[in-house]
Amino acid sequence: TDAPHTPADLPAPATAASRVPAGHPQDLAGLSALVTGGASGIGAATARLLAARGARVAVLDRDPAGAPAGTLPVRADVTSDQEVRAGVAEAAAELGGLHILVGNAGIGAVGTVEDNADDEWRRVLDINVLGLVRAARAALPHLREAAAARPGSASITHTCSIAATAGLPQRALYSASKGAVLSLTLAMAADHVREGVRVNCVNPGTADTPWVGRLLDQADDPAAERAALAARQPMGRLVSADEVAAAIVYLASPAAASVTGAALAVDGGMQGLRLRPA
């Protein structure tokens, strides 16, 4: 399959310059946001765009050195309930409450069920699933307060994955973790809908992030592996971190005030287009 264009060829949909006029439904002035895993890749692009739209932003990460300029870096590992609680409390205190939680921290895992031992399953599920649970538990009291003070402003958006439903080969553990994220998102949306807290997720296809870069570096032929990943998506290219961030920021913004329990695919057509272009 030929790749008609790469994300780099396209006009960037979401950059630090993507400000919107005051009063625009994606104007986030006066809102506070926390992004887990916001120091790299999709999370960093999201933190940057939230800030460009006027939000006050905290980045909670186990390695916060890469937190975008203008955001508050908070060091915490999402596998520690104590660290997450302290980190969320610090962010809410510094930013003046919390309206938006983006649960994004996650790691990959390669292999079939025969390849990963129980300890590896526990490690990945602890980050990818329980990490979101811990962040939500710590943030919900603040989000409820935000919803009461400013109706429509409170939301949780998870970074799920196409892996939740695609049946990807060599991704048993990763897919199971993201399947749990999808179910968790829907159940949380039901639990908190009458509290004014919306809960949604984005399902990226393969996105051009440092993580995917590291994965490609380990391949025998990185260029061929990159081309294969691009060919798997009907658009014939990877998606960019900025494109995923634009979807997350939409779901987190008042523009999506009536959207909850949604899973938005940002995957070059991978989920929706059952027939690949010839």
E strand or H helix at 63: none
Answer yes or no: are the C-beta atoms of 183 and 164 closer than 8 Å. no
Stretch that binds ligand NAD, among 91-99, 103-111, 114-122, 191-199 (CB under 6 A): 103-111
Supply the DSSP string of 111-142, one letter for each residue: B-TTTS-HHHHHHHHIIIIIHHHHHHHHHHHH
When asked if residue 97 is in the footprint of ligand NAD (CB under 6 A), the reply is no
Answer yes or no: are the C-beta atoms of 155 and 55 closer than 8 Å. no
Coil, strand or helix at 177: helix
**How many angstroms separate the CA atoms of 66 and 209, rounded?**
13
**How many angstroms separate the CA atoms of 36 and 268, rounded?**
25
For the bound state, the minimum distance from the C-beta of residue 152 to ligand NAD, rounded and expressed in Å, comes to 26
When asked if residue 206 is in the footprint of ligand NAD (CB under 6 A), the reply is yes
**How many angstroms separate the CA atoms of 226 and 275, rounded?**
21
**How many angstroms separate the CA atoms of 253 and 197, rounded?**
12
Interacting positions 210-239 with ligand NAD (CB under 6 A): 210-212
When asked if residue 191 is in the footprint of ligand NAD (CB under 6 A), the reply is no
Q: Which of 104, 153, 240, 260 binds ligand NAD (CB under 6 A)?
A: 104
Q: Let me know if 250 is a catalytic residue.
A: no
Half-sphere exposure (CA, 13 Å, Cβ side) for 99? 27
When asked if residue 268 is in the footprint of ligand NAD (CB under 6 A), the reply is no
Dmax (CA) of the chain: 54
Alpha-helix residue ranges (DSSP H) falling in the chain: 41-52, 81-95, 118-125, 131-149, 163-166, 172-192, 210-217, 222-232, 241-252
In angstroms, the Cα distances linking 106 to 92, 122, 174 are: 22, 13, 10
Q: Which of 47, 207, 247, 252 binds ligand NAD (CB under 6 A)?
A: 207
Calculate the CA 123 to chain-centre distance. Answer: 19
When asked if residue 155 is in the footprint of ligand NAD (CB under 6 A), the reply is no
Active-site residue among 84, 95, 143, 174? 174
User: Binding string to ligand NAD for residues 5 to 44, with x set by CB under 6 A, is what?
Assistant: --------------------------------x-xxxxx-
When asked if residue 153 is in the footprint of ligand NAD (CB under 6 A), the reply is no
For the bound state, the minimum distance from the C-beta of residue 94 to ligand NAD, rounded and expressed in Å, comes to 18
For the bound state, the minimum distance from the C-beta of residue 138 to ligand NAD, rounded and expressed in Å, comes to 13
Stretch that binds ligand NAD, among 6-14, 90-98, 114-122, 203-211 (CB under 6 A): 203-211
When asked if residue 247 is in the footprint of ligand NAD (CB under 6 A), the reply is no
When asked if residue 185 is in the footprint of ligand NAD (CB under 6 A), the reply is no
Q: Which is nearer to ligand NAD, 127 or 189 (CB)?
A: 127
When asked if residue 62 is in the footprint of ligand NAD (CB under 6 A), the reply is yes
Q: Catalogue the active-site residues.
A: 174
Residues that bind ligand NAD (CB under 6 A): 37, 39-43, 61-63, 77-79, 104-107, 127, 159, 161, 204, 206-207, 209-212
